């Protein structure tokens, strides 16, 4: 049987809770192209309602365990939850560790929880391109809560997490972890800092270090709380859930949410436009010409800037 790719069939089925149709829609979006765009157009009208919570932090910091706990809070009101786990797949890991990253133990049999893992380097070529689209789909399909788990190792992963409405930065006790978080650019994007594995030594020091580093960032209208948790036992989770809701109310009441979401829509349009142009430009240079030009650049016969300017001129595009 041929696989169905018609959004007009798949979208209503996915809305009715058919997870196979939803999985197919996500795959089509990951593959890009017209089918993906048609799907996004089909659900856009009913999107903009989901709350997205991003969790990022070093490998093994406890993001999945925390997510598992938070799903419990989200499910209390009956909200369906979708979890997107973004794997910073490298040629070395090959995404083989995906399975372990996303197992949501406590909710494995709950049909109201949908978990999907995806590679941050997908078919669309660029990094992290598909994630905001998949989140838009889950939103448009009707999930009121969407959780994005990313390993905060690279800029792309940090960007993905920073695209959430509420971003949790997860660190562990110990000096090294908060310094690593700072180096990875996580201090800027955190709305809430979680010091998980607070059953270990060094919690107070880590809270103090984070407080100091965040103070260096200057005054902000939202002062990110720093909360110790033990995800393994549930300690500190009620406080974390309260902080997430507080942040949500802050964004709504201050009017910042509307501004943030407007910016995100424009950024998505721009990213999509530039992605298309990049592919088109590259595709319109014949392979032989590309090989010839790169050979001459590598041979230092021509500098890379002049070579690019000539190529652009030959395509009728003004150079810089």
Site residues (CB under 5 A) for Mg ion?
A: 63-64, 101
Residue with smaller CB distance to ligand GTP, 101 or 256: 101
Residue with smaller CB distance to Mg ion, 13 or 101: 101
User: Are residues 160 and 137 in contact, defined by beta-carbon separation less than 8 angstroms?
Assistant: no
Residue with smaller CB distance to ligand GTP, 39 or 227: 227
163 binds, among Mg ion, ligand GTP, none (CB under 5 to 8 A by kind): none
Residue with smaller CB distance to Mg ion, 24 or 69: 69
82 binds, among Mg ion, ligand GTP, none (CB under 5 to 8 A by kind): none
One of 83, 141, 151, 171 touching ligand GTP (CB under 6 A): 151
Residue with smaller CB distance to ligand GTP, 232 or 308: 232
- In whole angstroms, how far apart are CA 29 and each of 137, 181, 270? 9, 31, 18
65 binds, among ligand GTP, Mg ion, none (CB under 5 to 8 A by kind): ligand GTP
276 binds, among ligand GTP, Mg ion, none (CB under 5 to 8 A by kind): none
Any residues with CB less than 8 A from the CB of 152 and at least 6 apart, and which?
56, 57, 58, 158, 161, 169, 181, 184, 186
Q: Is 232 in the site for ligand GTP (CB under 6 A)?
A: yes
Q: How far is the CB of 113 from ligand GTP (least distance, A)?
A: 16
Distance of CA 199 to the CA centre of its chain: 29
Contacting ligand GTP within 56-115 (CB under 6 A) = 57, 59-65, 101
Q: How far is the CB of 94 from ligand GTP (least distance, A)?
A: 15
Any residues with CB less than 8 A from the CB of 237 and at least 6 apart, and which?
66, 69, 70, 72, 73, 229, 231
- The torsion angles phi and psi of 269, rounded to 5 degrees, stand at -60, -45
148 DSSP β-pair partners: 54, 84
196 binds, among Mg ion, ligand GTP, none (CB under 5 to 8 A by kind): ligand GTP
What gap in Å lies between CA 165 and CA 101, rounded to an integer?
22
CB atoms within 10 A of CB 48: 11
Q: How far is the CB of 234 from ligand GTP (least distance, A)?
A: 9
232 binds, among Mg ion, ligand GTP, none (CB under 5 to 8 A by kind): ligand GTP
What gap in Å lies between CA 106 and CA 270, rounded to an integer?
39
- In the sheet that holds 226-229, the strands lie side by side as 113-119, 81-87, 145-151, 51-57, 166-171, 192-196, 226-229
Q: Is 238 in the site for ligand GTP (CB under 6 A)?
A: no
Q: Is 231 in the site for ligand GTP (CB under 6 A)?
A: yes
Q: Is 33 in the site for ligand GTP (CB under 6 A)?
A: no
Q: Which two tokens stand for residue 247?
A: 């942040």
Q: Is 230 in the site for ligand GTP (CB under 6 A)?
A: yes
Give the range of 53-61, 139-147, 174-182, 254-262 binding ligand GTP by CB under 6 A. 53-61
Any residues with CB less than 8 A from the CB of 153 and at least 6 apart, and which?
58, 59, 88, 184
CA atoms within 13 A on the CB side of 132: 24
Any residues with CB less than 8 A from the CB of 238 and at least 6 apart, and which?
none
User: Are residues 118 and 127 in contact, defined by beta-carbon separation less than 8 angstroms?
Assistant: no
Q: Is 153 in the site for ligand GTP (CB under 6 A)?
A: no
Contact mark string toward ligand GTP, 174..203, x via CB under 6 A: ----------------------xx-x----
Q: How many residues bind ligand GTP (CB under 6 A)?
A: 16
Q: Which residues bind ligand GTP (CB under 6 A)?
A: 57, 59-65, 101, 151, 196-197, 199, 230-232
């Amino acid at each position: 049987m041929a696989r169905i790719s018609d959004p007009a069939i798949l979208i209503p089925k996915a809305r009715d809770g058919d997870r196979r149709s939803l999985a197919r829609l996500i795959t089509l979006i990951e593959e890009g192209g017209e089918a993906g765009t048609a799907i996004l157009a089909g659900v856009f009208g009913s999107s903009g309602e989901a709350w997205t919570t991003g969790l990022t932090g070093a490998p093994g910091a406890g993001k999945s365990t925390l997510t598992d706990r938070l799903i419990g809070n989200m499910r209390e009101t009956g909200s369906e939850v979708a979890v997107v786990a973004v794997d910073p797949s490298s040629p070395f890991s090959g995404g083989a560790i995906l399975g372990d990253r996303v197992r949501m133990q406590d909710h494995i049999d709950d049909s109201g929880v949908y978990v999907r893992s995806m590679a941050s380097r997908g078919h669309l070529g660029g990094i992290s391109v598909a994630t905001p689209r998949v989140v838009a789909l889950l939103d448009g399909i009707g999930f009121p809560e969407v959780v994005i788990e990313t390993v905060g190792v690279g800029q792309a992963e940090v960007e993905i997490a920073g695209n959430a409405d509420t971003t949790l930065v997860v660190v562990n006790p110990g000096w090294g972890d908060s310094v690593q978080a700072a180096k990875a650019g996580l201090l800027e994007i955190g709305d809430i800092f979680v010091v998980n594995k607070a059953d270990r030594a060094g919690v107070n020091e880590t809270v103090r270090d984070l407080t100091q580093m965040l103070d260096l960032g200057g005054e902000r209208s939202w002062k990110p709380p720093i909360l110790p948790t033990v995800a393994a036992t549930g300690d500190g989770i009620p406080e974390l859930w309260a902080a997430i809701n507080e942040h949500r109310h802050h964004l709504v009441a201050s009017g910042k949410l509307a501004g943030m979401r407007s910016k995100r829509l424009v950024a998505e349009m721009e990213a999509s436009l530039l992605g298309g142009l990049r592919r088109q430009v590259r595709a319109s240079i014949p392979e032989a010409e590309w090989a010839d030009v790169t050979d001459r650049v590598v041979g230092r016969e021509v500098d890379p800037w002049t070579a690019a300017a000539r190529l652009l001129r030959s395509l009728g595009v003004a150079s810089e």
